[in-house]
Structure 1
Amino acid sequence: MATKTIQPASIAAKTIYPILLTISMMHLLNDTIQFIVPSLFPILKSSLSLNFAQIGLISLMINLTAAIMQPLIGIYTDNKAKPMMLPFGMLFTMLGVITLAYAHQFWVVMFAVMLIGLGSAIFHPESARVSFLAAGDKKGAASSIFQFGGFMGQAIAPVLTAVWFVVTGQQGLVWLSIVIAVGFFAQFYVARWYQNQLVPADAAGAKTKQSQVSPTELSTGRIVLAITILMILVFSKNLYVAAISSYYSFFVIDRFGVTMGQAQIILFVFLAANVVGLLLGGLLADRFSRLKLIWFSILGTAPFALMLPYSNLTFSIIWIFLAGTILSSSFSVIMVYANELLPGKVGLVSGIFFGLAFGLGGVGSAILGNMADTTSIDFIIQCCAYLPLLGLLTIFLPSDKKVKKEAQQVSVAQS
C-alpha cells in the first residue's frame, strides 16, 4: 500500500488563505500557552520559593522536549503524513495546562511543562506542512502568516500574565482549557482539509519515487554547512528571545524598580516588536534576496542589543522594540531558505528549526539561569547582548539565487 505523503504535483498554485489563517490562529494558541510558562516565572518563583537554577530547569524541560521530539516527528511525518496528529497534540497541551494550574511542587511543574512541550512538538511539524501546502506560489508570505500566529502568541503571553495571572495566580490557567477545547475542533477542520490533499499522493507515489532527484550544483557538504549555519542563526535568535522572556523582567524590576505588571508590559513591547518584524520580513521575503534580508537582521539588531543593558528605562523600551523588530524580520526568510535547501522535507526542516534550534535555546536559557545564581541578572543581560553577532556566520551561506533555482529544478523533476 502506498504511503500517504504530499507530493509537489498535488500542490496548487493558489494560496488557500482560510487554512493559513486557521493554522496561524492555532499557532497563536500554541505559542501563547508555551510562552505563558516563562511569563509565569516571577509568580512561580514567589509561590513555590524557586531559585534561578530551578527556573532554568523548567525552561529547559519545555524546550528540551521540543528539541528532541520535533525533529523525530518531522522525519516520521515526511515519510508518512498524519493529519489527525493536529487535534491529538491539543490533548497533551490541555492536560499540561490543567496540571500546571494546580501544581504545588517543583516536579509537578516539570511534568506539566513537559506535556505542554510535547503538545507543541506534535503541533509544529504537521502545521508547518499544512502551511507549506496551502501556500501555493507565495511561500514567503505564507510562512509569515503562519509565524504571525506564533509571534502574536509570544507577545500576548506576558500581557495575559500582567492582567490576569498576576491576579488569579497559577489556577487562572485552568480557564485556558476552554480555549484549547475550541482549538481542538478547529484542528479537526484543518486535519480534514489536509487529509483530502493526501489522496493524489497515493496514486502518484510510485511515479514520484522514480523521478526524485537531488540538487546537483550544491554538494551535500555545502548543504549540511548551510543548514548548520541557519541553525546557529535561529539558535542565537531563540536564545536571545528566551533570555529576554525569562530574565529581562527581573532585570527591569531590579534596575528601575518597576512593578511586576509593568515589567510584563515592557516584555510585551519586545514580543510585539517580534510580530512587527515578522510581518515586515514576510512582506519582503518574496521580493528581495534572502541573504540581504538576513544581513539586515544581523547588522540592524546588533547596535540596539549592545546598548540595551546600559540605557535608562525610556531608551531601554525604545531599544528593545527596535531590536525585537529587526531581529525577527529574517525568521520566515530563514525558513523559506532552509526549505529550498531541503526540498520535500518540510517536516524535517520544521523539526530542526522549531524544535532543535528552539530547544537548544532553552538549554542555553537553563545555563543562563545557573549563571544568574552565581553572578547577577545584569551580567546575564550584558552577555546576551552579543548573541546577534553570531549572525556574522551568514558570510558562509551559498547564494540564495542558486539555492532557489536548484529547489525549483528538484520540484519540476519530482512532478
Structure 2
Amino acid sequence: MRRTHPITLLSVGHGCVDLYQGSVAALVPLLVTERAYGYAAASGVVLAASSLSSLAQPLFGVLGDRRARPWLLPVSTLLAGLGVALSGVSDSYAVTLAVVAVSGLGVAAYHPESARVARLAAGGGHRAMGWFALGGNLGFALAPLAVAALAAAGGLRRSPLLLLPAVVGAALCLPVLRARQTRPSGTAAPPGPARDDTASFVRLSLAVVCRSVVFTGLGTFLALYATERTGSGGAGTAVLFLLYLGGAVGSVLGGVLADRWDRVRVCSWSYLLTAGSLAGLVLVPGPACYLFTALTSIGLYVPFSLQVTLGQDYLPSRPGTAGGITLGLTVSVGGLLAPAIGVLADRTSLQTALTPLILLPVLAGLLFRTLPEPAVPPPSALRRGRRPGVTP
C-alpha cells in the first residue's frame, strides 16, 4: 500500500461511522411523525446516543493506552451501524433507546483507536490528519440525505438498510490493519516519548470546549435565525449546508496551513478571525449571513484535526486518552449548554442568545496564545512502529 492509501481508507471509514452520529438526530422527524413521539421523547433518543458516546470515549482512550486494540475499528463500525439499523425495527421506546445507545457505544469505541491508527498512518503529517478529519465531517453532513432516502424508501421499517455503510466502513479498515501487521519487523522502535504536559493539555481542552459550544449552538439555532433574519423559507437549509461545507474546506485547510506554520499559531489566528465572522453572522442582517456562515464554519474547522494531534503530543504517553477527550468528552459540553441558549432565546431573542457566542472564539484564541508548540517525533519514527507504552 502506498502511503496515501491508508489515510484514504481510514477517512472513508471515518465518514461511515460519523454518518451514524448524524443519523440519530436526523431520525427525529421520522420518530415524531411515524410514532407520534413528543419533543421530549424524541430528544431522549438523541441524548441516549450522544451522552453514552461522549462519556465512553475517554474510557476507550484509556484502555487503548494500555493495549492497542486495532480490531476495534471494524467491530465498532459495525456496532455503530447495527444500533441505528435496528432503531426502526421495534415500536418499543425502551428498545429504541437501547439500540441507539449501542450505536453510541460503537462510535465511542471507534474514535480514540482510529485517531491513534490514523496518526501512525499519517507519519505525523498534519495534512493527512486533515483528510482523516474531512471524512468524518462529510459523513456527518451526509446523514440527513441518508435518512431522507430511508423515508422515501418506506420509512422506519426500512431502517436495516442503514447497516450498509457500516459494512463498507468495516471492510475498508481491514487492509489498513493488515498493512500495519505486516510491516517489516527489523525496523527500529520509535524514540521514547517526551514527558506529558498536563497543564497545556487542560488549556487545550478548554479551547476545544469553547469551540464545541459555538458549533453546537449554531447547529441547533442557525437555521431558525437565518429564516428570521432573511425572511426566506429556504435560508435555514442553505446556511446549514454552508455550515457543513465550510467544515469540509476547513479540515483540509488546517492541515495545509500547519505544514507551513506551527499548529498553535494556526489555531490561535483561526479562532480570533472566527470571532469577527461570527460577529458578522449574528449582527449583520440580510443575505450577508451566507458569507459569514461559510467563513465561520471554515474558521471553526481549521483547528479541528490539529487539536487532536496537539492533544496527543501534550500527552505522548497517553495518546488514546488525549484523543478520547478532544474528540469526545469536551465535545459533549456543547450539547449540554445548548438548552441554556434556547432558554435565553425564549426569554429574549435568538440574536441576544447567540451574541455571547462571539466571545468564545476570542477566549479559545487567547488560550492558544498560552500554549507551546510541542516537540514531536520525526515522521519516520512514527511510521516505523507503535508509540512506546502501548502494547500492540
TM-score by length of 2: 0.83
SS at match of 1:404: coil
Aligned partner letter, 1:174: P
Aligned partner letter, 2:83: G
Q: How does 1:147-158 map to 2 (within 5 A)?
A: 147-158=133-144
Counterpart Cα distance in 2 of 1:362 and 1:230: 19
CA separation of 1:226 and 1:54: change in aligned 2, threshold 3 A: farther
Q: How does 1:127-138 map to 2 (within 5 A)?
A: 127-136=114-123, 138=124
CA separation of 1:257 and 1:243: change in aligned 2, threshold 3 A: same
CA separation of 1:322 and 1:21: change in aligned 2, threshold 3 A: same
SS at match of 1:120: helix
Aligned partner letter, 2:278: A
Aligned-pair distance for 1:143?
1.1
Matched, 1:321 2:294: yes
Counterpart pick for 1:50 among 38, 43, 59: 38
Counterpart pick for 2:375 among 371, 388, 404: 404
CA separation of 1:250 and 1:57: change in aligned 2, threshold 3 A: farther
Counterpart pick for 2:210 among 236, 240, 251: 236
CA separation of 1:404 and 1:154: change in aligned 2, threshold 3 A: same
Counterpart Cα distance in 2 of 1:354 and 1:199: 32
Partner of 1:178: 164
Aligned-pair distance for 1:24?
0.4
Q: 1:107-151, CA deviations, whole angstroms, 9 ceiling, x for partnerless residues? A: 444333322211111111111121111112x42122112111011
Aligned partner letter, 1:140: H
Partner of 1:33: 20
CA separation of 1:414 and 1:160: change in aligned 2, threshold 3 A: closer
Q: Contact (CA 8 Å) 1:56, 1:369: kept in 2 or not?
A: no
Counterpart pick for 1:80 among 67, 88, 92: 67
Matched, 1:264 2:250: no
Aligned-pair distance for 1:342?
1.9
Counterpart pick for 1:227 among 201, 208, 214: 201
Aligned partner letter, 2:296: A
CA separation of 1:250 and 1:398: change in aligned 2, threshold 3 A: closer
Range moving further from structure 2, 367-376 or 78-87: 367-376
Aligned-pair distance for 1:301?
0.7
Aligned-pair distance for 1:20?
0.8
Q: Contact (CA 8 Å) 1:158, 1:265: kept in 2 or not?
A: no
Stretches of structure 1 lacking an aligned partner (at least 5 in a row): 1-13
Counterpart pick for 1:68 among 45, 55, 68: 55
Partner of 2:267: 294
Aligned partner letter, 1:333: L
Q: 1:163-222, CA deviations, whole angstroms, 9 ceiling, x for partnerless residues? A: 764885545543221222222222233333334459779x97xxx9xx84643xxxx6xx
Aligned-pair distance for 1:357?
1.3
Alpha-carbon RMSD: 3.4
Matched, 1:305 2:278: yes
Aligned-pair distance for 1:302?
0.7
Range moving further from structure 2, 41-50 or 170-179: 41-50
Counterpart Cα distance in 2 of 1:366 and 1:198: 52
Q: 1:220-262, CA deviations, whole angstroms, 9 ceiling, x for partnerless residues? A: 6xx2221112112222222322222233334445555655x76
Matched, 1:144 2:130: yes
TM-score by length of 1: 0.79
CA separation of 1:256 and 1:143: change in aligned 2, threshold 3 A: same
Aligned partner letter, 1:62: A
SS at match of 2:287: helix
Range moving further from structure 2, 388-397 or 265-274: 388-397
Partner of 1:6: none
Q: Contact (CA 8 Å) 2:70, 2:117: kept in 1 or not?
A: no
Partner of 1:247: 221
Counterpart Cα distance in 1 of 2:362 and 2:154: 40
Q: Contact (CA 8 Å) 2:138, 2:248: kept in 1 or not?
A: yes
SS at match of 2:119: helix
Aligned partner letter, 1:290: R
Counterpart Cα distance in 1 of 2:328 and 2:217: 17
CA separation of 1:302 and 1:104: change in aligned 2, threshold 3 A: farther
Counterpart pick for 1:279 among 240, 243, 252: 252
Partner of 1:24: 11
Counterpart Cα distance in 1 of 2:118 and 2:65: 14
Aligned partner letter, 2:266: L
Query: How many residues get paired?
Result: 382
Identity %: 27
Aligned partner letter, 2:215: V
Q: 1:321-360, CA deviations, whole angstroms, 9 ceiling, x for partnerless residues? A: 1100111111222222222222243212211111111222
Range moving further from structure 2, 125-134 or 102-111: 102-111
Q: Contact (CA 8 Å) 2:270, 2:365: kept in 1 or not?
A: no
Asked which structure has the greater RCO (Cα within 8 Å, sep 6+), the reply is 1
Aligned partner letter, 2:375: K
Q: 1:362-404, CA deviations, whole angstroms, 9 ceiling, x for partnerless residues? A: 323355456667766555444444432331442553331xx22
Q: Contact (CA 8 Å) 2:341, 2:354: kept in 1 or not?
A: no
CA separation of 1:170 and 1:383: change in aligned 2, threshold 3 A: farther
Partner of 2:99: 112
Partner of 1:364: 337
